[in-house]
Amino acid sequence: MTTTAVARPSLSLGRMRDLALVPAIVVLLIVGALIDPVFLSRANLVNVLQQQTELSLLVLAETLILIGGRFDLSLESTVGLAPALGVALVIPAASNGIGTEWSDALAVPICLLVGLAVGAVNGLLILRFGLSAFIVTLGMLIELRGLQIGITGGQNLFELPPSVLYLGNATWLGLPLSIWLCAAIFAVGIAVLGWFRHGRAVYAIGGNADAARAAGIRTDRVMWIVFMVAGVLAALAGLLMTGRLGSVAAAQGSGMIFQVFAAAVIGGVSMNGGKGTLFGALCGVLMLGLINNILTLAGVSAQWIQAVYGLIILVALVLARLTTGKAQDS
């Protein structure tokens, strides 16, 4: 009874911090409209949302891991390798495929299974062998990137299977399918973390793993599942990106991890575990997308965007310090 009474105010405070990002998004919408009237057009806003779908899935995946007190640097490489392998196994050798020419229907399942396998291996090495999450996922990032280059020969893969193209280009009720998928996945994630026992267990593990273990939570099992779910989400993000762009780029996903952490920090997700919500993380993704679009419409050089992202992270940390009155953990 005592634990429940303490948890509810904390959760309410977290939701209040999430809602604080909504006015910031409204301000960005106003600023964008003042800079260029095209900004508020339906076509532009839908384009912004669709371009952020892949990043939003990665942020969702990373947020789940961060709440559990861990992190994963290899997600961006999964975005590249998973669809690369799925596509290479089904397209002919003349199109830079491996030459196996499996059925086109297997491309999507193979991609998702690759993501699942990567998450499972990460979880095994980190949880069972007690290795550093930083070293393991950094090594996995490099390994996956190397495998992608080896499989594709460093070339883009074209002639994609219809199922992959459908995921990236289909439209349902006037909106891209990718937007509907992301909305549904976030809704499920928010519900699981907020109202289901296994979701609340992730918060407990991130807050105090020893206490969670003493309370009967199978901490390693829960986090292993989280790593595997994150891998599948990263693979799905790769599928959406591949379908939208019409090819698997040789360096697909490279550098996305920086945007992932930027969105998570802006959204109020703690780097030390136990704090943060998927709604806040989603707001962070939307803010990055709007800022990027505003800078583009304003004619700001793309070389400055990374600098702006870094500044945003620092400002978000300062604001969190001022609004919560708590010092940031080291």
Amino acid at 307: A
**Closest by CA position to 124, among listed 197, 231, 201:** 231
* Nearest residue to 231 via CA among 144, 105, 134: 144
pLDDT at 157: 87
Give whole-number Cα distances, 77 to 32, 36, 249, in Å.
Answer: 33, 35, 12
Residue 176 dihedral angles phi and psi, to the nearest 5°: -55, 145
Residue 175 dihedral angles phi and psi, to the nearest 5°: -125, 145
For residue 249, what pLDDT is reported? 87
Contact by Cβ (8 Å): 318, 268: no
Q: What is the pTM of this model?
A: 0.90
What's the pLDDT score for residue 321?
A: 60
Question: What is the Cα–Cα distance from 86 to 108, expressed in whole angstroms?
Answer: 7
Domain locations in the chain as residue ranges: 2-324
Distance CA 122, CA 220 (A): 12
Taking the C-alpha atoms of residue 291 and residue 309, their distance in angstroms, rounded to an integer, is: 9
Cα angle vertex 316, ends 312, 320, to 5°? 175
Residue 266 is encoded by which pair of tokens? 């802006």
Task: Could you please state the CATH topology (level 3) that the domain comprising 2-324 is classified under.
Answer: ABC transporter involved in vitamin B12 uptake, BtuC (1.10.3470)
Digits of tens for pLDDT over the chain (330 positions)? 334 333 443 445 455 566 778 888 898 899 999 998 899 999 999 999 998 999 999 999 999 999 999 999 999 999 999 999 999 999 888 777 888 889 899 999 999 999 999 999 999 999 999 999 999 999 999 999 999 999 888 888 888 999 999 998 899 998 999 999 999 999 999 999 989 988 999 999 999 999 999 999 999 999 999 999 999 999 999 999 999 998 898 889 888 998 898 888 888 888 888 888 999 999 999 989 998 899 888 888 777 777 877 787 777 667 666 655 455 554
3-state secondary structure of 143: helix
User: Sign of torsion, CA 314 319 320 321?
Assistant: positive
Strands (E), 68-193: 171-172, 175-176
